Structure 1
Amino acid sequence: MSNIRATKSGFAAEAQAKINSKYSEEHAQEVLEWIRELTGEPDNTSGDPDNIYQHLRDGTLLCKLANVMQPGIIKRVQESKMAFKCMENINSFLEAAKTFGVPSQELFQTVDLWERQNLNSVVICLQALGRKASKYGQPSIGPKEAEKNERQFSEEQLRAGDTVISLQYGSNKGANQSGLNFGNTRHM
């Protein structure tokens, strides 16, 4: 529905141009190929902003993706093309993404996709979801997420570290200040 709005000008146009400049067609294509691998849709995986907007704007493909990762996480997918029903689908996907563990700073807002304000944040969210996919038995994209690796040290091991003098405290090896005259008069 972004065709109803007036074109931006001034600071708003500059800000929108800066947001749009961060969009990466390669990342968008990778995300669409991953979605196709899981859901069988879409046929066209071009990273073009128009293409990703057309495939994702009603939210049904996003809901289908979430339900493939964990069946039944989105109970009701709105098939209607009415604006509020589509935005409800997008919001349901975002709630599912939170459940999957996507950090809040990597989520997008519904209007970012529906009004095509920030497709880059949509791609970032889908990449974050792609990293979480391996935890749900699905193929993932991007780098593997680090896992927690807690270690337990005994009291003896912790005390052993107190006897070591760190290099941050300095060293008496290498260059030194011998030959410097601090406080001494200069002889001419």
Structure 2
Amino acid sequence: MSICRNYRAPKYGDARDTQMKINKKYDSECAGEMLNWVASMTGESFNTAGDMDNFQEVLKDGVLLGKLANALKPGSIPAKKLKSTTLSFKQMELIQLAVDVFKQMGVKDTESFQSVDLTERVNLNQVVICLQSVGRKAGHGPKEAQENRRDFSDEQLKAGQSVIGLQMGTNQHASQAGMSLGKMRMITNDEKQ
């Protein structure tokens, strides 16, 4: 029997609404695809269903992520660290080691995740995004776009400065003629004695 301990207080109000918005972004089909890819890369056998409960349960101890990191970059995580544990700080440490390896492979910070996103189910969608990015770096999935750098001469840049785009609008016909706001103020110089 597995005992699930949740030390996080339940969310209420805006925090609950925000968490619900984050959870709506989660795509179980993509998550299942990424779990299948992790299984093929690590050679491990596990449930590859993409639902949130299974996704978190399979990855939260960090062992599979560590094995994936070693499959992509051999020897990057010591074998003695790749042991399943119930100690949350050890799980988070192993997850962070794997994330660091993924960053070394070229995964951007915006596509990465923090260990609490996975261990405490804060943002599982971000974990899926990170795995997709790792997959692209490893040649799985769509090819990344290449930079299309353009160099303009000084003459071309100066020519562009004199053009006023239509989206900026015009002020040729703008005036305050005919505007009247409220009652006119009457100032008199009456001398009463």
Shared fold (TM-score greater than 0.5)?
yes
- The match for 2:18 among 15, 18, 42 is 15
Provide the rounded CA distance (Å) in 1 between the counterparts of 2:15 and 2:50.
25
- The match for 1:121 among 116, 120, 126 is 126
What's the counterpart of residue 94 of structure 2? 89
Checking the alignment, whether the CA contact within 8 Å between 1:32 and 1:42 is kept in structure 2 is: no
Checking the alignment, whether the CA contact within 8 Å between 2:34 and 2:132 is kept in structure 1 is: yes
- The match for 2:110 among 102, 105, 112 is 105
- The match for 1:59 among 46, 62, 69 is 62
Question: Greater RCO between the two (CA within 8 Å, min separation 6)?
Answer: 1
Report the Cα offset of residue 146 of structure 1: 2.6
Percent identical across equivalent pairs?
48
Which amino acid in the other structure matches residue 144 of structure 2? E
1:99-158 deviation per Cα after TM superposition (whole angstroms, max 9, x unaligned)? 010000000111100111110000000001000002xxxxx12x101345779x9xxxx7
Alignment CA distance shift 1:12-1:2 (3 Å)? farther
1:11-39 deviation per Cα after TM superposition (whole angstroms, max 9, x unaligned)? 11111111111100011011011111111
Checking the alignment, whether the CA contact within 8 Å between 2:70 and 2:77 is kept in structure 1 is: yes
SS of the counterpart of 1:130?
Answer: helix
Provide the rounded CA distance (Å) in 2 between the counterparts of 1:71 and 1:106.
22
Report the Cα offset of residue 81 of structure 1: 2.6
Provide the rounded CA distance (Å) in 2 between the counterparts of 1:2 and 1:104.
30
Provide the rounded CA distance (Å) in 1 between the counterparts of 2:148 and 2:53.
42
Q: Does 1:36 align with 2:35?
A: no
Alignment CA distance shift 1:10-1:42 (3 Å)? farther
Provide the rounded CA distance (Å) in 2 between the counterparts of 1:43 and 1:83.
21
Task: Output the aligned Cα RMSD.
Answer: 2.5
Q: Which 5+ residue runs of structure 1 have no aligned equivalent? A: 135-139, 170-188
Checking the alignment, whether the CA contact within 8 Å between 1:42 and 1:55 is kept in structure 2 is: no
Alignment CA distance shift 1:4-1:150 (3 Å)? closer
Which amino acid in the other structure matches residue 60 of structure 2? R
TM-score (norm 1): 0.73
SS of the counterpart of 1:146?
Answer: coil
